[in-house]
Structure 1
């Protein structure tokens, strides 16, 4: 750790304390590891009041500034979208849920402090959850049953806020949605994403075994041929059963807290960069298919029931009828149509999870061409583990008629 603070970070921290920053000792901790910050750097800061010795522990997310990176992906739009979530969407929904008992409320996002929207200086300041003993899940280990139970339960509460707000204040909800950006669609219009998906689908096809999986191979081939249309349909759904989604729902964008005997007791969701209106199944399928082992895939209905029970309890607390706003059968129907987002992102995320950190592409590396960065993603990964998870997922999709 060190005490050297860049002028840009220093000015941002002034907005956090809203008083004389000279009263604070500022310590900068080690930054994020390679691969942790796809669209920017994270700076970890502790600010300690010199008189009271009270400390504020922060994460400053700052966008990559080099032109190559910003031309490759929509970095500014991503930061605008996440800042809009914290300053507008979450502020509104959090205020809205004050009318229901605490046990039905959703409070699983980090505390927001301040943000900067200035062009090529975008920043977002949140609390550092590590100082509350929250931990990251090991990305190379499939998410287990107790974690998924908690995740699906809390997503039920989160999505219920949208359903209830839309039912009780439809005009306000529609106005709130207008400020979000469908970053997913922006990504799909870029050659790099399309190429990555093509390669991932080829890898997935190679995981199937001729002579054993022949019927599945043919079905998956037809799915891949129509993949772009199916994926876009999932992203642009106009169903009445739509909510404000988290967007980027992999387990790496969650942190967990445990008791002394390692019992799971709490969770926080972060990285709302891809937040938008969409089917709840986009969030749930992305989370499930990017984290579940082959064995746990068989328990999908169990987790969907946990989700729907949680969602129903929260809707009832608002005085809403869950059977009118989102019947369980509509959740099941929606999964068949809108889980295509989860299938595609799940395969992509598993590939990243099984790639060594050193081999992950760095968008901020100005000395590396776009082709070289793309090529890195397809080297130095655990091929056997990735092929197994691909085959397990495709067999699950075929068995349940989701292809």
Structure 2
């Protein structure tokens, strides 16, 4: 019934069984859908996913005497060699399944009660949570016209408005759900909501600690050629060893800034649909494995500093914040709930979180956005024994990216132009520091 030879022989594909495909089909089309055949076809590029294997399932089926074809997307445990990343990978799968299957579905019920559209994430049809066989299957958004934005190009205002408006609905609907489940919390209500691997001293986060530090070192080396950024170089020398800690501690919520966030809101985790004039008209958020309770400003600055060019960010920063705030407030007003913070308070919170935005910007822009196929981080090659070697390779790749002609220079330096203009970087960050020499 199946043909797995259509794709490379990847062990993760064995997670997809005929029973799982049947379950997917019937949850989508109903019990009358009869599975005839299925095959796997790859459609992603290196760099489109880092903590998983993603492939498509092409299905042929019969329904009410007629023949049909349909495509689904499977997200699977990459089944890497044993390392400290394994617990992180498995935990992220359990967590994302909980977010998509349970939390977002309950958020959707809150929105439907108000007559509002569902959260714009893929429909999920089946899952497997057996150890080392973790995965789930969703609708294939690409067959509906959704595509990734070119990660090397900053999003324009039209794209960014879709993003911030949907983030506003996402965050607000989590507050509706929080009120419904009270006095219980998200942690008490949903299994696998906790993320023990996202702690400063967690061994599972060690590879990312090393990567954050290496990206800081790469930024220092690059910026030294530009006297204008000497102040930024000194700041990174002092704070670079704590980048991973800044990242983790940014996700600690503080009332009233406490919502469910996407948590990984950069351009590769969004798909867009376009009209005949190539204007974006719809959006879907994907990759919810980092979704957690945090300040809404985390999603906003993460997006602003990883996915926008400097000119768009500087020109429309407050316009985008206001569009977000209107979308967020609209949902809560319809539910007759108090908006927990004013627009001015949101502006102040975002300003405080700019350090997190710059740290993620350095990490993503330098390490991912402009990397070629052979320079993309390949976590399949990372083990506990070769972290230092892996890091040295990434440093060399970062240097190659920096020396290459193209848009990298303007995009990267714009981060530090913003840094120079913001007072928050020249105040105490509240983290222990040791200099990068």
Report the TM-score, using the length of structure 2 for normalisation: 0.82
The answer to which of 367-376 and 377-386 deviates more is 367-376
What aligned pairs does 1:280-319 form with structure 2 within 5 A after superposition? 280-298=296-314, 299-319=316-336
TM-superposed deviation, 1:394: 1.9
Q: Is the 8 A contact 1:359 1:379 kept in 2?
A: no
What aligned pairs does 1:1-400 form with structure 2 within 5 A after superposition? 3-4=3-4, 8-9=15-16, 10-18=18-26, 23-50=35-62, 51-68=65-82, 71=85, 74-102=88-116, 105-167=117-179, 169-174=181-186, 175-176=188-189, 179-182=192-195, 185-186=198-199, 189=202, 190-205=205-220, 206-207=222-223, 211-219=227-235, 221-224=237-240, 227=243, 230-298=246-314, 299-322=316-339, 325-351=340-366, 352-365=368-381, 369-380=386-397, 381-384=400-403, 385-400=407-422
Q: Is the 8 A contact 1:109 1:269 kept in 2?
A: yes
The answer to which of 358-367 and 306-315 deviates more is 358-367
Distance 2:351 2:195 in 1: 22
TM-superposed deviation, 1:72: 5.7
Q: Is the 8 A contact 2:145 2:273 kept in 1?
A: yes
Distance 1:193 1:161 in 2: 31
Task: Flag the 1:211–1:61 CA change in 2: closer, same or farther, 3 A.
Answer: closer
Aligned to 2:380, what secondary structure does the other structure show?
A: coil
CA RMSD of aligned residues (A): 2.8
TM-superposed deviation, 1:396: 0.6
Distance 1:309 1:170 in 2: 25
Task: Flag the 1:99–1:147 CA change in 2: closer, same or farther, 3 A.
Answer: same
The answer to which of 57-66 and 370-379 deviates more is 370-379
Distance 2:264 2:147 in 1: 18
The answer to which of 42-51 and 18-27 deviates more is 18-27
TM-superposed deviation, 1:26: 1.4
Distance 2:247 2:52 in 1: 26
How far does the alpha carbon of each residue in 1:63-104 deviate from its partner, in whole angstroms, 9 at most, with x for none? 0223335646611001001001012101211111111133xx
Distance 2:321 2:255 in 1: 19
Distance 1:188 1:356 in 2: 32
TM-superposed deviation, 1:234: 1.4
Distance 2:293 2:382 in 1: 34
Distance 1:305 1:86 in 2: 28
Task: Flag the 1:295–1:31 CA change in 2: closer, same or farther, 3 A.
Answer: closer
TM-superposed deviation, 1:187: 7.9
Q: Is the 8 A contact 2:73 2:138 kept in 1?
A: yes
The answer to which of 330-339 and 370-379 deviates more is 370-379
Q: Is the 8 A contact 1:78 1:183 kept in 2?
A: no
How far does the alpha carbon of each residue in 1:95-151 deviate from its partner, in whole angstroms, 9 at most, with x for none? 11111133xx34310010011110010011111101001011101111111111110
TM-superposed deviation, 1:269: 0.2
Q: Is the 8 A contact 1:3 1:26 kept in 2?
A: yes
Aligned to 2:82, what secondary structure does the other structure show?
A: helix
Query: What 5-or-longer segments of structure 2 have no aligned partner?
Result: 6-12, 426-437
Residue-pair matches, total: 398
